[in-house]
A = this chain, B = another copy of it.
């Protein structure tokens, strides 16, 4: 063997970082995004708060889950998530499965003492979401709902500017999530009410609602209309809502899967007494800011003092959508390691539940034709 010093001898810092065993449910779009998060944070956000050990991945299709395990470097795979719940090597249960597999496995994992990370929407209804929050909250484990857009650097920067009072009092929030693929005639679990709970509302609208709450505050009432444009589809394709916040702020929340030409256009604008902010996920590294009456400046969110940017590149070398998961999982691991709480920057299961109550109020308003109060229950 040629020269060279083995890393065990030299690896001072790393030896001190404990491992955390991860069991993941799901290997499709979200499984890939989460797996990439664990793997990337381990060296990019250096040193990591905990070293993820990819213990186990679960899925019903054995050959597919076996390949996913190999691909992402999980030690083993299972075809029944109950094995992960029973697995002592798993300390964190990461649920990236379809919406109808959120509640039962997540609650079971938490009640088995595992920290839990669950994709959004938390449950298919406010009731299911409340149950998840209540029972998981009672266990004392850390819990986080995967509202990953809170971890886009531009969104965090917006939050910091709002907290610092740079916008004054917020008067308006306008958030839209526009996609175009609802025209597909292909079938998918996202179109079935039992599996998904709702359509554009839970899939896209929940993200808008969560950022509205994260950036502006609690929503008190909604006035909404929903539409299903595709014949025979069980879930909504679009909704529009006027939202009244507990503060005097007033706004709109909109989502559709029928906006031709809009690929992933989650855009929002906030107007305050001292300035405004605007964002569009299709240009996720840009934050547009007006301070008072002057026009909008484009902040290319990539400076050394911008959120999360100490881990990345010289300014102007933009990062991708997938790194919101790197930041998000890093945040969760930091909390699990005992160095801070999931809230306020991470969405807890309470946040997941509260977003679901706003969703339910939108459904009620669409049906009743009335402005509906958002009803929050305690745990």
State which of B7, B14, B67, B271 has its C-beta within 8 Å of the C-beta of A10: B67
Stretch of A116-124, A136-144, A258-266, A353-361 on the interface side: A258-266
**In A163-193, which residues have CB < 8 Å from any B CB?**
167, 171-172, 174, 176, 178-181, 183
Tell me the chain A residues, 245-304 only, with Cβ under 8 Å from chain B.
248, 250-252, 254, 256, 258-265, 269, 271-276, 281-284, 290-300, 302
Q: Across the interface, do A365 and B78 meet the contact criterion of CB distance under 8 Å?
A: no
Interface contact A240-B238, CB-CB below 8 Å: no
Q: Copies per complex? A: 4
Most buried by B among A63, A178, A258, A261: A261
Judge if A345 is at the interface, Cβ distance under 8 Å.
no
Known: A2-B88, A264-B315. A69 touches B7 (CB 8 A): yes
A172 touches B319 (CB 8 A): no
Tell whether A217 is near chain B: CB-to-CB under 8 Å. Answer: no
Listed stretches A38-46, A96-104, A328-336; interface member = A38-46
Q: What is A's interface to B at a CB cutoff of 8 Å?
A: 1-7, 9-14, 29, 33, 35-36, 39-40, 43-44, 46-47, 55-56, 62-63, 66-67, 69-78, 80, 83-84, 86-90, 167, 171-172, 174, 176, 178-181, 183, 223-225, 227, 229, 238-244, 248, 250-252, 254, 256, 258-265, 269, 271-276, 281-284, 290-300, 302, 313-323, 365, 369-371
